[in-house]
C-alpha cells in the first residue's frame, strides 16, 4: 500500500487536467494523489519528462502549469528553462511577473474532486478513456 509503480503516471494524469490559463503546485498535486509529503517527488516526475519528450504519449503534458507553493516558477538554477516556462504561461493568458511570480489568488486551479482522483488511481492513465 504504498509506492505504487505508477506514481509518475498519476502525476501526469493530474497535470493533464490542469486547464489552460490556470496553474497548480507540486504540493497540491502530491496532496491530490494522497501523498501530502511527496511534493518533491512530483517535481522529480515532471523533470523526467525531459527524457520522454520524444515519446508522443507524454507530449501533451502541460508541465508549465505547475509552480511552487508560493506561485513562483521553481527552476531557479535553470534560468533559461524558467523563462521558457514563463513564456509558455503568458501565451496561455497567465500573468507572470518579472520575478517569475504568479498570483495564485487569480490563477490557482481548484483541483480535482475525489471521484476523478479515484479514476486516476485506478487507471493511472487519466488522460483518456
Residue 89 within binding range of DNA, rule CB under 7 A: no
Helix (H) or strand (E) holding 26: helix 26-32
- Is the separation of the CB atoms in 28 and 112 below 8 Å? no
| Cα–Cα dist 11/42, whole Å | 7
Q: How far is the CB of 120 from DNA (least distance, A)?
A: 15
Beta bridge partners of 66: 24
48 binds DNA (CB under 7 A): yes
Return d(Cα 30, Cα 45) in angstroms, integer: 11
- Using CB under 7 A as the binding rule, whether residue 42 contacts DNA is answered as yes
Nearer to DNA, 4 or 127 (CB): 4
Stretch that binds DNA, among 48-56, 89-97, 102-110, 111-119 (CB under 7 A): 48-56
In the list 13, 20, 22, 38, the residue contacting DNA (rule: CB under 7 A) is: 38
* Euclidean distance between the first and the last CA atom of the chain, given in angstroms as a whole number: 25
* Cα 123 to Cα 103: distance, rounded to the nearest angstrom: 33
Question: Which of 19, 21, 40, 79 touches DNA (CB under 7 A)?
Answer: 40
- Chain residues in the site for DNA (CB under 7 A): 2-3, 5, 7-8, 25-28, 35, 37-50, 63-64, 66, 68-70, 74-78, 81, 85
Amino acid at each position: 500500500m504504498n509506492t505504487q509503480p505508477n506514481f509518475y503516471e498519476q502525476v501526469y494524469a493530474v497535470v493533464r487536467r490542469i486547464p489552460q490559463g490556470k496553474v497548480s503546485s507540486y504540493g497540491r498535486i502530491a496532496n491530490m494523489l494522497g501523498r501530502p509529503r511527496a511534493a518533491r517527488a512530483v517535481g522529480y516526475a515532471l523533470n523526467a519528462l525531459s527524457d520522454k519528450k520524444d515519446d508522443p504519449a507524454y507530449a501533451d503534458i502541460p508541465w508549465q502549469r505547475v509552480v511552487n507553493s508560493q506561485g513562483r516558477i521553481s527552476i531557479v538554477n535553470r534560468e533559461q528553462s524558467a523563462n521558457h516556462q514563463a513564456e509558455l504561461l503568458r501565451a496561455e493568458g497567465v500573468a507572470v511577473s518579472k520575478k517569475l511570480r504568479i498570483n495564485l489568488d487569480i490563477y490557482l486551479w481548484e483541483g480535482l474532486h475525489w471521484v476523478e482522483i479515484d479514476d486516476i488511481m485506478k487507471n493511472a492513465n487519466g488522460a483518456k478513456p
